[in-house]
Structure 1
């Protein structure tokens, strides 16, 4: 199945499953929100997924899953630039998040560039895998696939940050998911018609693994994934959500080794260890941020402003002298209780 067609069917299925549940809560739609929805549906459902599938064709499933581990680093940098993530370089938790992000990127680079010896496993001996069928994956194809996956991850990080921003003005996870899937399927259809023009047979579906892939990826990977990450993102932010993406690599490596008979290399194992260590640092730092939030500069200056305002108002009360006129007697009574006799007018 064409990857462009798979993306379309995937989000059609996701919209069909999520839409009935999204009818209950529908906030008011405005033009700025709709523009954000269009951008969201273009970033992840169209750009990221198509580039990810193309990059996986040039490499392997394990390699593609390993490259997505740069997602937490990209999201972290973008969140800091947009001030969605607070940093204090003198704080240990902030240092843990920074070093964890660097370790994640370093681990992804190790997986990409370092191959090393093959780790022989019992279930991969004597089996023909994807790399052997294609005559081995050369460095040129690996670099091309890595570039595609990296661009896709950057688009994915933009999607995460923009989703967190959109949820502040459109706080309905189910409705947001339905809109993303609907618009993503429409935009993906346009891309598929352009890229696969003249190939009408690619749109056909049968009762086989292709249909299962469209159903599973639509319901689980798009529908439930968008909704769950939106719920968690409202409370913990986009950095916390993307910090768990390296777990995908572990699952894919195990399943790829069992099902596709893919070989494991020492470089990938070493890079995975570095990535897991960086992931632990990021999660630890984020957990401390959730327990003890870092106050913003506005929150820090607020008490000082209150003290200044209280002092100035107290001074005004002390210096201010209320005057009460006794109209009947012509006397003037001040706030200190003294009686001030008016002066006699001068005769002219």
Structure 2
């Protein structure tokens, strides 16, 4: 029984880590599938709408049944936050990401996403959701780790180096980089869109963390965000996509892209991120973002015969070191907070202190009706006065 209890306790501790790692595999698969669907002519405006439609249909029944007894009341404040969440990630983040990827390249777009941990870290500090003490090792580790993840991402982007033939493909195989056909003007616009995309994605985690404190029902909140993302994304798609034939969909890669990205990367991802966000905070959630780029590079080399460059391998190593540093610092912070909780419990005997009421009573009453003076007694830890 003791061994089972210890195993359950260990599983509870590592569950957030496993959830975020597996989620990055899901995101990596989405990048491959969506890339193929867009190459076949699927509109990203329409993809966003179908993605969140299918996510809503997949998650809403579970939310309705499993959280019917714990679901809080949907107040105006929560509804406004849900609208903001649906706008930040489903509409702004995803559409800007796809447009930025078209104007630059898939490699550059995936590498740019790795600034999300740094942006979320700064936002969390500004909103006092994360504490940083550079005089302590955990705080210093989080700052250094965040800097390393960004540096590794930039290394993968700015330095290619020679092709490393680790999967048995010839240097001439693979897809050509789409950046070769992009003009300098489009590249600058795409870079700006990708940076705005990262800001929206980071802001989503901050608002999600705030909303969960007021509406602690992860499945229900996920369903509402997906529904609002579908509605708001549909309005944007009707304005931006004038060709009605773009809405036609068949049993092909376009349907697979909408179903996979909707169920796995919107429905399940929002729920898992919400759970981990509530337990570990937004910085912990975004710290695992660089893993998806590494997994995508590996899957791209295996499935799409893409070339693997030395810069990608070096950047991946730096990202892993930075990720470990952030996670280590966050885990040590949790241990410090846990150890501080018992110390906050006051073990001293209750002491009546002189307040303003008794003081005024002393000042106003004289003679035999004067209140007795109340002494303030401090009881030490040993129990002696």
Regarding TM over 0.5, the answer is: yes
How far apart are residue 63 of structure 1 and its match? Answer: 3.4
In structure 1, the gaps of 5 or more residues are 326-331, 336-348
- Matched with 2:29 is none
User: Is 1:113–2:154 an aligned residue pair?
Assistant: no
- Matched with 2:301 is 257
CA distance in 1, matches of 2:236, 2:136: 47
**What secondary structure, in the 3-state scheme, does the structure 2 residue paired with 1:293 have?**
helix
How far apart are residue 62 of structure 1 and its match? Answer: 3.8
How far apart are residue 269 of structure 1 and its match? Answer: 2.2
**What secondary structure, in the 3-state scheme, does the structure 2 residue paired with 1:130 have?**
coil
State the Cα deviation string for residues 248-293 of structure 1 (Å, max 9, x = none). Answer: 0121001111222222222222222222111111000000111111
- Matched with 1:177 is 222
In structure 2, the gaps of 5 or more residues are 1-41, 373-385
> Kindly tell me: are residues 64 and 160 of structure 1, through their superposed partners in 2, closer, same or farther at Cα, counting changes over 3 Å?
same
Q: Size of the alignment, in residue pairs?
A: 319
CA distance in 1, matches of 2:316, 2:288: 13
Task: Name the stretch that deviates more: 245-254 or 20-29.
Answer: 20-29
**Structure 1 vs Structure 2 CA RMSD:** 3.3
User: Is 1:190–2:235 an aligned residue pair?
Assistant: yes
Q: Which has the larger radius of gyration?
A: 1
> Kindly tell me: are residues 255 and 122 of structure 1, through their superposed partners in 2, closer, same or farther at Cα, counting changes over 3 Å?
closer
Task: Name the stretch that deviates more: 163-172 or 241-250.
Answer: 241-250
- Matched with 1:32 is 77
How far apart are residue 310 of structure 1 and its match? Answer: 5.0
CA contact (8 A) 2:171 2:307 kept: no
- Matched with 1:68 is 113
User: Is 1:8–2:53 an aligned residue pair?
Assistant: no
> Kindly tell me: are residues 6 and 238 of structure 1, through their superposed partners in 2, closer, same or farther at Cα, counting changes over 3 Å?
same
- Matched with 1:216 is 260
CA distance in 2, matches of 1:164, 1:77: 15
- Matched with 1:227 is 271
How far apart are residue 27 of structure 1 and its match? Answer: 1.2
- Matched with 2:95 is 50
> Kindly tell me: are residues 2 and 150 of structure 1, through their superposed partners in 2, closer, same or farther at Cα, counting changes over 3 Å?
same
CA distance in 2, matches of 1:57, 1:130: 15
Relative to the length of structure 2, the TM-score reads: 0.74
